Structure 1
Amino acid sequence: MPTDTSADKTIFTRRESEVRSYCRGIDRVFTRASGSEMTDAGGRSYIDFLAGCSSLNYGHNDPDMKAALIDHIAGDGVAHGLDLHTDIKARFLEAFERHILQPRDMDHKVMFTGPTGANAVEAALKLARKATGRRNVIAFTNGFHGVSLGALAATANAYHRAGAGTTLDGVTRMPFDGYMGASFDTADLIDAMLSDRSGGVDAPAAILLETVQGEGGLNAARPEWVRRVAELAKKHGALLIVDDIQAGCGRAGTFFSFEEMGVVPDIVTLAKSVSGFGLPMALALVRPEYDIFGPAEHNGTFRGNTHAFVTARVAIEKFWADDRFQAEIAAKSVLLTTALAEIAEMIPDARLKGRGMMQGVDVGSGELAASICAQAYQNGLIIETSGPDDQVVKVLAPLTTPEATFRKGLGILRDAVRDVTTSTKMAAE
């Protein structure tokens, strides 16, 4: 990797905490970003297949969102409003109701939580426990829901759990769809254990799941499994919580990842791309009968990010007022599947993972996946890994990526796989 001589990076190693992560493998100093590309301090541009870990589904600096935000700031629009009534919050809620909730027959209330996905999960878990009077939550193998203590208890990854420094409890882990192999329906196991008074599983307040496990390795649940789990939640008196923080806002193909599965969760958590512009914002969508928190019972100083309301409203009206954007996502998803299938054929025993614009290739080794991503980065593509051993090369390109740019990025990835596998083979010989 050429040295970035145009910017001094020593301030980061000197002053930034060791907890930093993405910048260790993607070590340039970036100064500009537009659409699906980022530019470093030396003037080199990179195609972005990370997109803020799905926080930039509409790309960097969408011009319409940017213009609306500049106008709001220039006109002395409210910058911080706690949960006060503001004109821009009303406009966001009206757009969200009209274009997202009503077309999907969802009557959910919108809870503005603290501005991170983990905080939305914390709110959802607290609310489910209050609504049911129960403590236990069922979560799943390879699930990732955040690293604050409540969300971390529901997170499966041992590395992240080890950072807690205290006991993580209140959660029973169950095997996700496919975890026990294709012939084993894990929903049967869940039902059997919950139905057996000696099954050892306390009656749950909620069942919490991702329909596509982003950080867990792009494990995509079958619609019939999700429907069965929804039925089990109802049967056993638990709320169904779908964590759509990474898979939502179009990433899995539709605005909500579950909307073609025939289920309507009791609570849905959203964050990442819900602001449309990369601004901090998180929501918990709650069925009205479970909207039982008292005033400020779950609060936060930044639960009303007015700037995010501005850009989120534009994103909804621009991309979700009709079906055209969803059709574009579907077409790009086919292109992505085709390209990744060709890439998988280059690696022995590699497997395609995920769905929609949330796909990748399980290359079987974290070391191999890291080498592929490093080579792609050297050639001008920003891309990362996921999975319990970081063995999945994960494509999270902005949904708005022009087709020519998308194909170019996939070509860089294909070339990186070819170069790395060739050099690995030569070294073995």
Structure 2
Amino acid sequence: MGIFKDLESNVRGYCRSFPVTFVKAQNATLTDSEGNEYIDFLGGAGTLNYGHNNPAFKQALIDYIEADGMTHGLDMHTDAKAAFLEAFRDLILEPRNMDYKVQFTGPTGTNAVEAALKVARKNTGRQTILSFTNGFHGVTQGSAAVTGNGYYKKASGLPTTGVQFMPYDGYLGDFNTLEYLEKALEDGSSGLGHPAGVIVECIQGEGGLNVASKEWMQGLQAICKKYDMLLIVDDIQAGCGRSGTFFSFEEFGIEPDVITLSKSLGGYGLPMAVVLLKEELDIWGPGEHNGTFRGNNHAFVTARRALEEYWSDYRFAEEVQHKASVIRRRLKEIQAENGGTSKMKHKGRGIMQGLEFANGDIAGAITELAFERNLVIETSGSDGQVVKILTPLTIEESTLSAGLDILEKCVKDVLAQQVSKAS
């Protein structure tokens, strides 16, 4: 692995936690250069909801390439883009009575967030965006500004202007943080002013699997309407089925003004991102927000197949919800068997759950030991204190159970080591 140390930038991250060379992947199983197999509870940080090398997508992509289909098309019309848009309309938007325009941005989530922030500012003529504690929205300049974590903000090297932060649901315990938000909006001396929009995750993935309640999200939407602010839901990690429904906010009965999607939207791990915006908000001039790679036709092909394969009915969502219940039950059992809520806290929703420990050292020791035992799993949260399950949604239930068995043993062993050190 010397080539990576010698030539690749110090910015590399995941490879430090998983120091092997991977050569093969299928669904939720990874294979390294020595032939060792690992259970994947990372899922490409949420880009692989449908697993590695999904055969239904693979053949469609091979056929498209062999037919010399358009690879790169900027924002020109192509048959691959038309087929994706038709599938997205027919299988996602219309069944949910959602009326949005689709904006193709650069292919990563942060590109979609940057565009969404511009939409809010362009439509309202105001500059400030309201974001929330522990939110994560990307690391380019605008996205880092609305990201809570100081580590990413510091790296930008510039003041992160144009944003104000408010406490997320549950940040202050049982206190309803929306009461504080509305008080600040009413008070001309609060320093908050009149924001252009609000950006929020229904499940804070990188922030530590904090989950907003239905009542809180409905209340936030009501405040946005009352004070003429756009509601932007960042569904980049929690969307595409991760929560148990295609959008993480479906069960809340809300209607965001703007939605960002990326990560698993491309289906095959191919980069692709969109902004969904209400038609009246689509006031862009031609090319006013663009990106060379906003026309990734290979991703259009696999994204369409993902929609057709998994979202033509509710069976896939039901399977995800079943696996989510299995994860919840097992995590609760692990919690109960290892000291209960005094030692760890269950967090998350859907197949986006985990366990929060007293500090990042404990959680890091658990994920390190898990990798030694052939389970790839990461941490999240402000101190890396949450062990986070983000496995492909298509994982076989037997593989899911095997991974949870490894996690259970790692938690038990690491906590036992903590007790031994303390004594």
Common fold by TM > 0.5: yes
Q: Output the amino acid matched with 1:165.
A: G
Equivalent position of 2:289 in the other structure: 298
Q: Are 2:16 and 1:24 equivalent residues in the alignment?
A: yes
Q: Output the amino acid matched with 1:295.
A: P
Q: 1:116-175: CA deviations, max 9, x gaps?
A: 100100000001100001101100000000010111110000111110111111001000
* In 2: Cα distance, 1:161 partner to 1:270 partner: 22
Equivalent position of 2:152 in the other structure: 160
**Offset of residue 343 of structure 1:** 1.7
Equivalent position of 1:45 in the other structure: 37
Deviates more, 1:189-198 or 1:281-290: 189-198
**Offset of residue 114 of structure 1:** 0.3
Q: Output the amino acid matched with 2:126.
A: R
Q: 1:262-303: CA deviations, max 9, x gaps?
A: 101000000000001100100100000001111010000000
Q: Which of 197, 205, 212 is the equivalent residue of 1:221? A: 212
Q: 1:172-224: CA deviations, max 9, x gaps?
A: 10000010111x10111111111122222121110110000000000000010
Equivalent position of 1:59 in the other structure: 51
* In 1: Cα distance, 2:343 partner to 2:130 partner: 32
* In 1: Cα distance, 2:267 partner to 2:72 partner: 18
Equivalent position of 2:421 in the other structure: 427
Q: Which of 408, 418, 428 is the equivalent residue of 2:412? A: 418
SS in 1 for 2:413: helix
**Offset of residue 226 of structure 1:** 0.4
Q: Output the amino acid matched with 1:229.
A: L
- Written as runs of structure 1 = structure 2, the 5 A alignment for 1:175-324 is 175-182=167-174, 184-324=175-315
How many residue pairs are counted as aligned between the two chains? 420
Q: Are 2:357 and 1:363 equivalent residues in the alignment?
A: yes
Q: Are 2:108 and 1:116 equivalent residues in the alignment?
A: yes
* In 1: Cα distance, 2:343 partner to 2:181 partner: 31
What TM-score, normalized to structure 1?
0.97
Q: Are 2:400 and 1:406 equivalent residues in the alignment?
A: yes
Q: Output the amino acid matched with 1:283.
A: V
Q: CA RMSD in A?
A: 0.7
* In 2: Cα distance, 1:356 partner to 1:257 partner: 9
**Offset of residue 426 of structure 1:** 2.0
* In 1: Cα distance, 2:150 partner to 2:190 partner: 25
Equivalent position of 1:102 in the other structure: 94
SS in 1 for 2:334: helix
Q: Which of 309, 326, 341 is the equivalent residue of 1:335? A: 326
* In 2: Cα distance, 1:364 partner to 1:254 partner: 31
Q: Output the amino acid matched with 1:125.
A: L
Deviates more, 1:345-354 or 1:125-134: 345-354
**Offset of residue 427 of structure 1:** 2.6
SS in 2 for 1:277: coil
Q: Output the amino acid matched with 2:193.
A: D
Q: Output the amino acid matched with 2:35.
A: G
Q: What are the ranges of 5 or more consecutive residues in structure 1 without an aligned counterpart?
A: 1-8
* In 2: Cα distance, 1:316 partner to 1:208 partner: 26
* In 2: Cα distance, 1:342 partner to 1:153 partner: 39
Q: Output the amino acid matched with 2:370.
A: A
* In 2: Cα distance, 1:217 partner to 1:253 partner: 18
Q: What are the ranges of 5 or more consecutive residues in structure 2 without an aligned counterpart?
A: none
SS in 2 for 1:393: strand
Equivalent position of 2:84 in the other structure: 92
* In 2: Cα distance, 1:342 partner to 1:161 partner: 37
Q: Output the amino acid matched with 1:355.
A: R
* In 2: Cα distance, 1:82 partner to 1:202 partner: 39
* In 1: Cα distance, 2:370 partner to 2:191 partner: 48
SS in 2 for 1:19: coil
* In 1: Cα distance, 2:355 partner to 2:228 partner: 38
- Written as runs of structure 1 = structure 2, the 5 A alignment for 1:372-383 is 372-383=366-377
SS in 2 for 1:24: helix
SS in 1 for 2:276: strand
* In 2: Cα distance, 1:25 partner to 1:120 partner: 28
Equivalent position of 1:73 in the other structure: 65
Q: 1:76-104: CA deviations, max 9, x gaps?
A: 01010111100010000000000000111
